[in-house]
Structure 1
Amino acid sequence: MNILFAIALTTGILSGIWGWVAVALGLLSWAGFLGCTAYFACPQGGLKGLAISACTVMSGVVWALVIIHGSALAPQLQILSYMMTGVVAFLMCIQARQTLLSFVPGTFIGACATFAADGDWRLVVPSLALGLVFGYAMKNSGLWLAARADKHKSFANDNA
């Protein structure tokens, strides 16, 4: 079985399940899909990729809260908000020197999700976290399915 087809199949099935789970738990389905996206986009796969994706996405949530709350300290001085955004964006990138924070897009995904949810981190964090787990399940179940189908096909050919 083609790997892309297998991953597409498991992603489709698990996306439908995620949509139901998100609604049932009162989570943000779109933020969960951002978590899935972060896992799929991370250059590392497996559990290491899941750990890196989780650390970077959650660090992005924290950085967004720094910007939101820092900007609220002096709302009359908009220039300070812009400067803070620049400094934090720099820090979001430079933290990639640490292995678990090395996936810069994950950091920005977490921050963007937090901004989009008006800083409601109590809703964003579980949505992103479950989305990361679903992304891991989508990709790895697809890889497993493709390998199993190929093994079954090879076994059938050997016995023909």
Structure 2
Amino acid sequence: MNILFSIALTTGVLSALWGWVAVTLGLLSWAGFLGSTAYFACPQGGFKGLLITLCTLLSGVAWAQLIIHSSAMLPQLSIAGYAITGVVAFFMCMQAKNVLLSFVPGTFIGACATFAGQGDWRLVLPSLLVGLLFGFAMKNGGLWLAGRRAKESSGAVAAE
């Protein structure tokens, strides 16, 4: 069983489980899939990738809250709200100088999920984080499964 097939298998099974968990817990299934996607997209894997993805998703939620609340204090249709968005987006990128915040797409995924969730970070955040854990399990479960199958295959060949 090759790695792609193994990861696809664990992703399929755990995606179905995630859908049930999201409904059962009242979480946003789409936000959970964004959390999973962020882990898959992070260049670092394993626990380091999990930590980096976690930090960037959290920072994205915080940056989005800053934009939402700052813009709310300004008159409607003011160009200042757009300027705030531009300045904050600049800092969302610049924070990547810190290794734990180096996955810029994770920051933007966290922010976009918060905007899509209409600023309800109390719902968006657990949805993203549980989804992130599912993404970790999907990818690493698939890698484990592929490794186990490869070990069994090489053992069978050696026994012949």
TM-based fold match above 0.5 = yes
Query: Map of 1:53-72 to 2, 5 A cutoff?
Result: 53-72=53-72
SS in 2 for 1:108: helix
String of CA shifts for 1:18-43, please: whole Å, max 9, x gaps. 00000000000000000000000000
Equivalent residue number for residue 93 of structure 2: 93
Larger deviation, residues 22-31 vs 72-81: 72-81
Distance between the aligned counterparts of 1:2 and 1:38, measured in 2?
23
The amino acid that maps onto 2:145 is L
Query: Map of 1:36-47 to 2, 5 A cutoff?
Result: 36-47=36-47
SS in 1 for 2:16: helix
Query: Map of 1:1-160 to 2, 5 A cutoff?
Result: 1-76=1-76, 78-160=78-160
Work out the number of aligned pairs and report it.
160
* Consecutive unaligned residues in structure 2, runs of 5 or more: none
**TM-score (normalised: structure 1):** 0.99
* Consecutive unaligned residues in structure 1, runs of 5 or more: none
Distance between the aligned counterparts of 1:27 and 1:20, measured in 2?
10
SS in 2 for 1:130: helix
SS in 2 for 1:48: helix
Q: After TM superposition, give the deviation of residue 75 of structure 1 in Å.
A: 2.5
Over 3 Å off, 4+ runs: none
Q: After TM superposition, give the deviation of residue 77 of structure 1 in Å.
A: 5.6
String of CA shifts for 1:36-69, please: whole Å, max 9, x gaps. 0000000000000000000001100000000000
> CA RMSD for the aligned pairs?
0.7
Matched residues, percent identical?
71
Q: After TM superposition, give the deviation of residue 76 of structure 1 in Å.
A: 3.3
**TM-score (normalised: structure 2):** 0.99
Q: After TM superposition, give the deviation of residue 78 of structure 1 in Å.
A: 1.3
The amino acid that maps onto 1:133 is L
